[in-house]
């Protein structure tokens, strides 16, 4: 409980209010900055001894930090008995209290108790006083989750102590304004969550459409009419022999006029990569993009996170590759789930966990890009190395893969159709990703507690009266 007995109202207000110089930002005149320890009764719980089975499997919900899910907690993993409660430091907190994980892997996680429950010692629990709306309190601490975590750093294990929580500056508006803010946040969050659901559905639908389009593209179905209208279509062998300036071994692809099967190693020049010495600072101050698995965020890259110098290229295993070459990841944990592939327009280099393919023709390179995208699951199934902790591709087998290659004019038409059906949707889904739903929610929270959601009524009585009433009630 908050101790107030024997103190004057002036002393109590001085303890409760945050001095001007410590206030994080300005708030409306009828709002207050107060210490979090003055708006709620804070405590923590305990863990009954595991040596005594009779302390568990009772009817008292017992919340651990793993039960906190940044929402209402109405289900728990474990229950304790009356005896377990009595013979431990665990205590029951009322429904509507706020629980905060103080340390461990879940540090900073929150939950509003949806039921009367006990907690373990890793939870700080605040039961709001009558001056405070519980939902408002929850959203305020949610908006400051990372700030609290940062304040808890410094020791061997980060710990958001109760002392940190109780002294934390808390924005206290009039009670009606608290309710309006809570309602507004929940209304906006509901719209965001609905948008998130629709986005997920759109993406799932897009993945199915893309798979279907690519499957048809590489079986010649997208360009069936082109072949029917052009009886004199030229066999692809003439083009690739010219391109590679040698006779490239091919195999006839049945039922597709002019198409041939050609091994990747015969059609493309294949390059490996490397990492320039990290001890040579000048090597990492250049302008040449250096591509590594962490850069593979999309199929068409504009730049890389790291850049190296010409000197680094001259004195390491890296090679300067032509813009438009196709790069794939051949060794990375990413390969457990996907096979990242990308094209970078400008000359660039790659690290040792990647391979690059360059046919000398930008259209054939791009055709390979989409072929790998369309057959990602097959490639991972056939060419993934088994028994390794880090995912990797058996590249000696991979480069022998047969690529179905159409006549050059048909190939260009296939790329046009792929871009028509897919590229537009790819860009849309990338824009959707950039919305960053959680970032949007955090922005709403930041505005809410700065009175930027249009909910405040400046004519309402100041929250100081609320605070005085609460402090007076504690003196009695």
Distance, CA of 337 to CA of 274 (rounded, Å): 24
In this predicted structure, what is the pLDDT of residue 439? Answer: 82
Ranges 54-68, 208-222, 283-297: which has the least confidence: 208-222
pTM, full prediction: 0.63
pLDDT of 442 above 70: yes
The 10s digit of each residue's pLDDT in 365-397 is 999 999 999 999 999 999 998 766 678 999 999
In the chain, pLDDT over 90 holds for what percent of residues? 69
CB atoms near residue 37 (< 10 Å): 19
Distance, CA of 410 to CA of 356 (rounded, Å): 25
The 10s digit of each residue's pLDDT in 145-197 is 999 999 887 666 788 999 999 999 999 999 999 999 999 999 999 998 887 78
In this predicted structure, what is the pLDDT of residue 431? Answer: 53
In this predicted structure, what is the pLDDT of residue 110? Answer: 95
pLDDT of 248 above 70: yes
Q: Which of the pair, 2 or 93, is modelled with greater confidence? A: 93
Distance, CA of 393 to CA of 386 (rounded, Å): 9
In this predicted structure, what is the pLDDT of residue 454? Answer: 92
The 10s digit of each residue's pLDDT in 304-355 is 999 999 999 999 999 999 999 999 999 988 787 889 999 999 999 999 999 9
What residues contact residue 123 under an 8 Å CB cut-off, 6+ apart? 44, 45, 63, 64, 65, 68, 99, 100, 101, 102
Contact 57, 79 (CB under 8 A): yes
In this predicted structure, what is the pLDDT of residue 334? Answer: 77
Q: Which of the pair, 26 or 1, is modelled with greater confidence? A: 26
The 10s digit of each residue's pLDDT in 130-146 is 999 999 999 999 999 99
pLDDT of 433 above 70: no
β partners of residue 301: 344
């Amino acid at each position: 409980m908050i101790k107030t007995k024997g103190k004057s109202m002036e002393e109590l207000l001085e303890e409760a209010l945050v001095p001007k110089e410590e206030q994080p930002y300005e708030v409306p005149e009828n709002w207050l900055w107060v210490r979090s320890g003055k708006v709620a009764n804070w405590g923590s719980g305990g863990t009954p001894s595991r040596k005594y089975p009779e302390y568990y499997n009772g009817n008292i919900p017992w919340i651990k930090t793993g039960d906190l899910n940044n929402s209402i907690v109405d289900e728990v993993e474990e229950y304790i008995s009356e005896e377990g409660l009595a013979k431990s430091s665990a205590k029951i907190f009322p429904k509507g209290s706020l629980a905060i994980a103080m340390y461990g892997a879940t540090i900073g996680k929150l939950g509003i108790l949806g039921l009367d429950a006990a907690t373990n010692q890793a939870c700080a629990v605040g039961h709001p006083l009558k001056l405070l709306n519980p939902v408002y309190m929850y959203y305020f601490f949610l908006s400051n989750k990372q700030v609290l975590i940062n304040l808890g750093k410094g020791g061997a294990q980060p710990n958001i102590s109760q002392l940190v929580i109780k002294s934390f500056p808390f924005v206290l508006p009039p009670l009606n304004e608290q309710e309006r803010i809570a309602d507004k946040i929940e209304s906006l969050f509901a719209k965001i969550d609905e948008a998130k659901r629709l986005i997920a559905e759109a993406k799932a639908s897009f993945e199915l459409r893309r798979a279907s389009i690519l499957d048809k593209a590489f079986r010649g179905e997208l360009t069936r009419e082109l072949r029917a209208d052009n009886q004199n279509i030229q066999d692809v062998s003439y083009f690739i022999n010219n391109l590679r300036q040698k006779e490239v071994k091919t195999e006839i692809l049945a039922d597709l006029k002019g198409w041939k099967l050609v091994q990747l190693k015969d059609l493309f020049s294949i390059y490996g990569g490397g990492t320039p010495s990290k001890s040579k600072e000048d090597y990492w101050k250049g302008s040449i993009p250096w591509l590594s698995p962490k850069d593979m965020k999309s199929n068409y890259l504009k730049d890389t996170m790291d850049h190296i110098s010409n000197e680094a290229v001259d004195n390491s295993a890296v090679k300067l590759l032509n813009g438009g070459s196709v790069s794939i990841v051949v060794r990375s944990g990413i390969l457990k789930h996907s096979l990242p592939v990308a094209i970078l327009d400008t000359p660039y280099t790659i690290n040792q966990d990647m391979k690059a393919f360059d046919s000398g023709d930008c259209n054939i390179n791009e055709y390979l890009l989409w072929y790998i995208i369309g057959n990602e699951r097959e490639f991972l199934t056939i060419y993934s190395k088994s028994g390794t902790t880090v995912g990797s591709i058996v590249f000696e087998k991979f480069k022998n893969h047969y690529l179905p290659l159409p006549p050059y004019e048909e190939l260009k038409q296939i790329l046009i159709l792929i871009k028509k059906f897919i590229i537009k949707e790819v860009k849309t889904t990338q824009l959707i990703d950039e919305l960053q739903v959680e970032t949007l929610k955090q922005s709403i929270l930041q505005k809410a507690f700065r009175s930027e959601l249009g909910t405040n009524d400046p004519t309402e009585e100041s929250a100081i009266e609320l605070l005085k009433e609460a402090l007076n009630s504690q003196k009695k």
